[in-house]
Structure 1
């Protein structure tokens, strides 16, 4: 979703663009021997990264903090989301990022995560697995948080999945067979992070350190929150 390198754009024109809060959701189906991840291709009409495979997600809207939820984020997720931010998010702001990811999931794929007892989503199973800030020089810049959830941990109506004007060619793809897809380097890096982590920690425990990708003095940096 957020390239660290790639498209050449007039840096001086877009350098001052302030990153906007955004969130993506990585859905993992582990019902088979090789886990699968839901990805889609951004429609050709997009200004930002057309034709590139991404996780469902997008910009946080001002009303996301008012969306209903059945269960709150894990305290460790709340804590990690508060780190390295220029302005305090607070519990509601952190929760709004997760709700934005789930709202975008529904808008872009037709899929909705519900709790076992009602319509509102249960945020307690969402892991915070990565953060990335689009470098200066791009026409769109985002401070994106990436959440992950296993499909067997939350009710999900797979039959509702459909292509939209946002994402097309929606597919459940083997985690070990994604190298041929056209995707941004940051998307590939986050996939590699999650794949490697699942080898040593298949449950993706909440206490794992969160990779944070950004640019410093023109160089790509990977640190941990």
Structure 2
């Protein structure tokens, strides 16, 4: 059986730095899911066709856009790349009831106007061949204080259960996919290097090449 083509997807590492140690939001995927069932993951999901048409209040940082572009041999349109970032914010709202943006939105598909200005681009990973569903996932980071998010406002959803904040330095309380552990390791290293997570820094890109697991930098 031919392996399916990876679909664009996006995920947000929502970070709370109000305490002594930085915490990240994760939730457990329902055991009925085909993809990564019964594991804790960051909020996220695939890019939908309608994400291209979503209005937004603040645009993606130019340095983030350049890093997104760097991952494509053939040019990817800014509309497509922006839609990936918009998908991350939309999924965060759908899965955790967190709105990043302005609630003064008028007649729009979402109950808020997404604000992309504070998203950091942190990693990209393509699901290896052999899985029933494959995704080309872009991982963003967002600090709650910059986004005006109250860490107490998270709510479980049908997509993500047992939403919880975990210490970035100690994730032993939950079961995580291997790629999530790897990306959290990168996040820890970045926070140790510069806790502000500057825009535009090199981005690790994980994928399989000729049966080998590869880590490139974008």
**TM-score of the aligned structures, taking structure 2 as reference length:** 0.92
1:172 aligns with 2:159: no
Question: Is the contact between residue 16 and residue 151 of structure 2 (CA under 8 Å) also seen in structure 1?
Answer: no
1:133, 1:188 → 2: CA distance? 15
Q: Deviations over 1:158-199 (max 9, x none)?
A: 454211111000001111110342111110000010111100
Of 4, 11, 16 in structure 2, the residue corresponding to residue 29 of structure 1 is 16
Match of 1:123 among 101, 108, 116: 116
**Count of aligned pairs:** 212
Q: In the aligned structure 2, how far is the partner of 1:61 from the partner of 1:87?
A: 21
Q: Does 1:203 align with 2:199?
A: no
Unmatched runs of 5 consecutive residues or more in structure 2: 106-111
Other-structure match for 1:48: 35
**Structure 1 residue 220 corresponds to structure 2 residue 213:** yes
Return closer, same or farther for 1:218/1:180 CA change in 2, 3 Å cut-off: farther
Tell me if structure 2 keeps the 8 A contact 1:115–1:154.
no
| RMSD of aligned residue pairs (Cα, Å) | 1.6
Question: Which of residues 151, 154, 177 in structure 1 aligns to 2:147?
Answer: 154
The question of whether the paired residues in 1 share the 8 Å contact of 2:61 and 2:117 is answered with yes
Q: Deviations over 1:77-111 (max 9, x none)?
A: 11111123265322111110011011111111111
CA distance in 2, matches of 1:104, 1:122: 13
Q: Distance in 1 between matches of 2:103 and 2:97?
A: 19
Following the alignment from structure 2 to structure 1, what is the Cα–Cα distance between the partners of residues 142 and 104? 18
Deviates more, 1:178-187 or 1:40-49: 178-187
Equivalences for 1:31-180 in 2 at 5 Å? 31-85=18-72, 87-115=74-102, 119-180=112-173
